[in-house]
Structure 1
Amino acid sequence: MHLSPLDRLWLCETIRLREDQSGPLDDAEVNRRVIADGGDFRQRLERRALLLAERDGQLAGLQHWRQGARLALLLLAVLALLSGAGLAVAALGDGQRPVNVFWALGSLLGLHLLTLLGWALSFVLLGDSGALLGRLWLWLSGKLARDAQVAQLAPALLLTLQRERLARWALGSLVHGLWLLVLGSALLVLLALLATRRYGFVWETTILGDQVFVALTQALGALPALLGFAVPEPALIRASGDAVLGEAGARQAWSSWLLGVLLVYGLLPRLLLAALCAWRWWRGQQRLRLDFGLPGYSLLRERLLPSSERLGVLDPAPDLPAGAPAAGTLAPSAGALLVAVELDPQRAWPPALPAGVADAGVVDSREQRQRLLEQLARFPAERLVIACDPRRSPDRGTLALLGELARSAAHTRVWLLTPPPGEALDSERLGDWHSALEKLGLAWSDSSPLAWLESGHD
């Protein structure tokens, strides 16, 4: 799954919010992999968030949210197109009655102007331009995603965008884009109706004089006239207040005026605002960064960027004594590795190993486990055999270690050792081992797998 820089920041913020709410995550294995990959603190934070999100389901939730967002946007776009067509039909009617030009204009532009004013006021006074359509899209996106992880993703996205005040520009682009569809659909349907039906235009009043409508019509038509749209003459405007004019010139003048006003005062402002919001959104994404001063990130600095890396190695590592290697210490070039987990001290170990097979000793303590996992994170083995004593119960800690070790090698087998002569093996406990290893997806062997370890085949 391709992730944009915004997606990576979004996942970082999602993991931070999750840890703020439910406490630190179990990230020891992930942190080892991140440290082994290297990079600066920002790269390590992003890598850690990606691995945790992939493990715990947030990455799949992000993909589901995206699918829900696209579906919600499609539904809103279809609704916008239908609404625009409905506005045009409502403004002109069926052609059986004359069209009151100012009622028609109010039907086409009234809601648009009110929402545009509301957007501008919220932008200036509240610093937010999401408007109702933007919030509706966010709500629909979460509902259509149908994923429990979306509950954490949505607020994390808003927090990420608010850092550069990008939410206003992102939702603003959406709102103005949808209104472009509404008004564009209205303009096309209006043009189709005017081209296929005969409409008469009038204006009516009880308390206002003719001069008010003449001045208003000419004022509204001044800007469209610069683009070539017609403006009715004063005599024609006055005459239209008395009765419907049957001349083709009168109908064409009013039709051209109505189309021009819709284009100039409807579509063009939305187009310019949509372009402005899209440009600011694009510019803001280039400046978007994580806030390393937040408590959730500052606590991770020492874990992901240890002091030894920031300051350099102060003392060289001591030489190992001659003899068997300590648990968790292996040569970087080892392609095949044998390691044992919690064996009986009385058992003779290790067995005679073929050439090219390294021995990582017996892992008994937490420190040995940590050292071995860190080395395997840096130098993964091609083939790994993990020897276990099936007389012990497969407890949760041992199984977790087997899973971590297996993820550090290309191919892994578990060797369930046979008990010493004279001791019987509990078949029920052996069945527990088989069941647990099957759940982990690990292959096991009751006989010696050293031949496979040496050559890669049995």
Structure 2
Amino acid sequence: MPLNSIPEALWLAETLRLTEERSGPLEDAEACRQARAGGGDLQRRILARATQLARRDGLDLALQHWRQGAGLGLLLLAVLALFSGAGLAFAALGDGARPVNLLWALGSLLGLHLLTLLGWVLGFAFGGEAGSALGRLWLGLSARLARDRRGAQLGPALVLLLGRHGLQRWALGLLSHGLWLLALLAALLLLLALLATRRYGFVWETTLLPADSFASLIHALGALPALLGFPQPDLDLLRASGEAVVGGEAARQTWAGWLLGVFAVFGLLPRALLALLCFVQWQRGLHALQLDLGLPGYSRLRERLLPSSERLGVSDGAPAQLHQPRAGHLAAASRGALLVAVELDDRRPWPPALPAGVSDAGILDDGAQRRRLLEQLTRQPPARLLIACDPRRSPDRGTLALLGELARAAGKTRVWLLPASAGETLDPARLGDWHAALDQLRLPWADDAPLAWLENGDD
């Protein structure tokens, strides 16, 4: 299955939908804000949200691991197909010590292939999951080889996404026919090698059935290959080979050519044509691949990503499991510098005297102010952002999450831990907690006012 051709954002969105259905809603305020800022229709915003959440939670890396596991699983199946094909050829001809029974040789080469082909056709005709056993084997191998718990829902999400658009049957068909084609090609190559390096005698035998019936069957099987240029034994050779091994060189070459022709026409050709059909249908279906926006997991995102009106306040309950705040930076930041303070005491004079070109974003005291500033930074990200914090307060999870969101909306960010007011002292233990929390966030901090850095970008 060509996994690299599946749109990654669609796959991630479906995976997150399954994850949220099983584990509850994720904390996605920042991802939804980024998606709204990007614009577009609801599907585009859902995909943007999924990309942001996947990058934050490491699901994008899990998807890469899953793809690597899927490729390795497919490689293992391909190696198994090669050895199986070689085994079919050797079982059909043997070591040359005994004459080759033509019908037993055909049964060895084409028997299992024709049975599985018939099963695929019946499953396809009656709407079943044709090739599902081989597909489940491959999905199981992919999950085991990926070894990433974060991607537990990637396999089920892929099956649902493809099955909803009727692509699963074409994907599994391409996998099944491709592996069979590989096995048959390996068998053909070994047949050619054995026939070129060993001398084989050919015979057909029967005890219960009339000899004329067997002769007619062999002649009928060679009719279509004969149209493609493969040799067809005449009646004299047919009768003679039914009674004893014909030892002439011409007879051996005729029977070898007949065997290769029947194998190519009834083995290789159907698998190649069906693999090509599945590939064409797969490529066509990929262009129409979309999310089913009517599903509950996507419907609940409509008001948050494509709101009819902006609302303040709590929109979702707390998730069952909080994510670890992370900082970062924005690569494509605009010019300019910005100073912002978080929950400062009213007795502290603010803002300080700022250099030219540095803007003041005020003091963030409530959720509404934070959302407005984050929306502004999403539209116009600054090149440098200085965040002033009062180290007398504890570095709680909410504050650290806000610092991470602000940092990801600017080019470079520093945290200014303000000095104590006149007549006050800072608690060394609490100041150490701030240093440890900021180091974990990977945010640089300063105790002295880094206004020179804010103005010029250096100290």
Give TM-score, length-normalised by structure 2. 0.92
- The alpha carbon displacement at 1:338 in A equals 1.0
- 1:72 and 1:137 in contact (8 A); partners too: yes
SS at match of 1:360: strand
The alpha-carbon distance between structure 1 residues 30 and 197, as it changes in their structure 2 partners (threshold 3 A), is same
Letter in 2 for 1:264: V
Measured against aligned partners, the alpha-carbon deviations of 1:224-273 in whole angstroms (never above 9, x if no partner) come to 11011112222222222221111112212211111111000000000110
2:235 aligned partner: 234
Q: Distance in 2 between matches of 1:206 and 1:453?
A: 98
Identify which range, 272-281 or 27-36, moves more after superposition: 27-36
- 1:334 and 1:356 in contact (8 A); partners too: no
Q: Distance in 1 between matches of 2:115 and 2:344?
A: 77
Q: Distance in 2 between matches of 1:180 and 1:300?
A: 45
Measured against aligned partners, the alpha-carbon deviations of 1:278-332 in whole angstroms (never above 9, x if no partner) come to 01101111111111111111211121122259xxxxxxxxxxxxxxxxxxxxxx9
Identify which range, 166-175 or 65-74, moves more after superposition: 65-74
Is 1:367–2:371 an aligned residue pair? no
Is 1:423–2:424 an aligned residue pair? yes
Is 1:179–2:180 an aligned residue pair? yes
The alpha-carbon distance between structure 1 residues 98 and 399, as it changes in their structure 2 partners (threshold 3 A), is same
- The alpha carbon displacement at 1:19 in A equals 1.2
- The alpha carbon displacement at 1:414 in A equals 0.8
Q: Distance in 1 between matches of 2:296 and 2:135?
A: 31
Letter in 1 for 2:68: Q
Count of residue correspondences: 435
Is 1:94–2:65 an aligned residue pair? no
1:105 aligned partner: 106
Letter in 2 for 1:166: L
Q: Distance in 2 between matches of 1:343 and 1:149?
A: 39
2:297 aligned partner: 296
2:133 aligned partner: 132
- The alpha carbon displacement at 1:6 in A equals 2.3
Q: Distance in 1 between matches of 2:439 and 2:334?
A: 30
Letter in 1 for 2:25: P
Is 1:454–2:451 an aligned residue pair? no
Structure 1 residue runs without a partner (length 5+): 310-331
2:217 aligned partner: 216
- 2:162 and 2:168 in contact (8 A); partners too: yes
Structure 2 residue runs without a partner (length 5+): 311-332
Q: Distance in 2 between matches of 1:239 and 1:201?
A: 11
1:336 aligned partner: 337
Identify which range, 129-138 or 219-228, moves more after superposition: 129-138
Identify which range, 37-46 or 194-203, moves more after superposition: 37-46
Q: Distance in 2 between matches of 1:349 and 1:192?
A: 87
Measured against aligned partners, the alpha-carbon deviations of 1:375-422 in whole angstroms (never above 9, x if no partner) come to 111111111111111111111111111111111111111111111122
1:319 aligned partner: none
State percent identity of aligned pairs: 68
- The alpha carbon displacement at 1:5 in A equals 5.9
2:79 aligned partner: 78
- The alpha carbon displacement at 1:4 in A equals 5.5
- 1:341 and 1:388 in contact (8 A); partners too: yes
1:323 aligned partner: none
Letter in 2 for 1:30: A
Q: Distance in 1 between matches of 2:347 and 2:112?
A: 86
2:37 aligned partner: 36
Give TM-score, length-normalised by structure 1. 0.92
- 2:334 and 2:381 in contact (8 A); partners too: no
2:321 aligned partner: none
Letter in 2 for 1:114: L
- The alpha carbon displacement at 1:50 in A equals 0.8
- 2:246 and 2:252 in contact (8 A); partners too: yes
RMSD between aligned residues: 1.7
- 1:334 and 1:357 in contact (8 A); partners too: no
Q: Distance in 1 between matches of 2:183 and 2:91?
A: 14
Measured against aligned partners, the alpha-carbon deviations of 1:184-238 in whole angstroms (never above 9, x if no partner) come to 1111111111111111111222111210111101111110110111122222222
Letter in 2 for 1:138: L
Letter in 1 for 2:24: G
1:326 aligned partner: none
1:158 aligned partner: 159
Identify which range, 260-269 or 41-50, moves more after superposition: 41-50
- The alpha carbon displacement at 1:441 in A equals 0.6
Letter in 2 for 1:385: L
2:322 aligned partner: none
- 1:130 and 1:171 in contact (8 A); partners too: yes
